[in-house]
Amino acid sequence: EIVLTQSPGTLSLSPGERATLSCRASQSIANNFLAWYQQKPGQAPRLLIYGASSRATGIPDRFSGSGSGTDFTLTISRLEPEDFAVYYCQQYGSSPLYSFGQGTKLEIK
Amino acid sequence: QVQLVQSGNEVKEPGASVKVSCKGSGFIFNTYAFSWVRQAPGQGLEWMGLISATNGKTNYAQSFQGRVAMTTDTSTSTAYMELRSLRSDDTAVYYCGRNYNDGSLHPWGQGTLVTVS
């Protein structure tokens, strides 16, 4: 069973700074089927990145994804006030078919 | 535009069942699969299972096997998730999401709060 571990649990940064969020898998994720989501309070998650590094439609280019195998990273190059939220990574294809990381809360410093 | 609209919030007693709907629009419904994901208060996301609107095949997470049933009605472009034998720890927001072949989910429904009390 693949377990996704996100770090850090909470990241405190200021607008304009660079954010680096990590997602580590307990086993290699085939085909880089790794996605990232943003969730704001009271809202449904929103797809940011799919296939580890492809931006979803309408997602600003300050969001980028990288990595392969077991180590993946979501980078926000220059934080805007609306970027402060909780971020989840998610894998597809291994047992269980889907799993999510526990989330990283990005908060304003 | 492409969207998924879910049914309204529910309050159920322990032991009862709940059925949540998810209506798609703006795309060809029967060419996709749909996942259900829940989120307990203050907690993370938990995948429950998925159903193909193309052929009705399902894949349920082990923790929900025997207690969940997912169906679709392609004539109304609606997916359904029924959860039986509700317990207090089933209190959560339940989301549907449209599956892509790489497993990403987009878009998501707005969520349905199910309270078991």
Looking at residue B102, the DSSP 8-state letter turns out to be T
Q: What is the pLDDT of residue B76?
A: 98
Phi, psi of A39 (to 5 degrees): -130, 125
For strand B92-99 and strand A19-25, is the pairing parallel, antiparallel, or unpaired?
Answer: unpaired
Q: What is the pLDDT of residue A95?
A: 75
Residue-wise pLDDT for B58-110, tens only, equals 999 999 999 999 999 999 999 999 999 999 999 999 999 999 989 999 999 99
| Cross-chain residue pair A96–B61, CB shorter than 8 Å | yes
Beta-carbon pairs below 8 A across chains A and B: 66
Q: Is A10 at the interface with chain B, CB within 8 A?
A: no
Residue-wise pLDDT for A59-104, tens only, equals 999 999 999 999 999 999 999 999 999 999 999 987 788 999 999 9
Instruction: Report the mean per-residue pLDDT for chain A.
Output: 96
Looking at residue A61, the DSSP 8-state letter turns out to be T
Q: Residue A29: pLDDT above 90?
A: yes
Which pair of structure tokens corresponds to residue B101? 């072949």
